[in-house]
Amino acid sequence: MVFPIALAAWLLLSRRWRDALIIAAASLVPFLSWALVVGSLLGTSPFATPLAKPLLIPFAGMAYLEGIEGRAMVGLWAVLPAGLAAIAVFALFVRRKDILQSPDALLVLANSALIAVLPVPTWVDPLAVLRLSTGLILALLLWLAQIRPTWLPFAAGLWVPSLLLAFMIPGFLL
C-alpha cells in the first residue's frame, strides 16, 4: 500500500486529480474489501486491535527487539537507511524544489515513514522488520538511479551482505 499511496500523493501534488483518484481507488478498494472479508470471518475488524496501532515515536520499536544480533541487523538494514533516506530527501528538497518532479522522492519518504512507525508486534521479530524494509531499499535504489546513476552499483553492493539472512531460515542448508 505504501507505493500506491506515495504515487497518489505525488499525483495530487502534480494536480493530476483524476489519476490520483484512479491509483488510490485501484489500490484501496481491494485492500479494504479483503479487510471486510477477514473482519466478517473473524467477527472483528483487523484494524480494531490495539496492537496494530503505529508508534508515535519514530523507531521506538527498536526497544522491543531482543538480542544484539537482531538489533544490529535491523539497525543496519532498516533503521539506518530509513533515517538517512528521510534526511537526504528533506535536505535535497530544501536545496532544490524540483525534487518532486518524479515520485521517487515521495516513495523514499513514504517507505521511511512506514519503517519509522511500525507497530510493536512487528518489531518483536527482526525478520518482519527486514521484510517490510525491502520496499524502502527498492525505493532508495530507484531514487538513486534518478539522482546519481553512477552511484547505483556501489549502493546496490551495500545490500549484498543481506544474502546472509538466508542462513537464518530454518532448514535452509539442509
Q: What is the pLDDT of residues 43-59, one digit of tens each?
A: 887 777 777 788 888 88
Q: Could you tell me the residue ranges of all domains in the chain? A: 1-48, 51-165
Contact by Cβ (8 Å): 85, 136 = yes
Residue 55: count other Cβ atoms within 10 Å of its Cβ.
17
Angle at 162 between CA 157 and CA 164, to 5 degrees: 125
pTM for this predicted structure: 0.80
Q: What is the pLDDT of residues 55-93, one digit of tens each?
A: 888 888 888 888 887 888 888 888 888 888 888 888 887
Q: What is the pLDDT of residues 112-145, one digit of tens each?
A: 999 999 888 888 888 888 888 888 988 888 888 8
Q: Give 74's contacts (C-beta < 8 A, 6+ positions apart).
A: 62, 65, 123, 126, 129, 130
Mean pLDDT of all residues in the chain?
Answer: 83
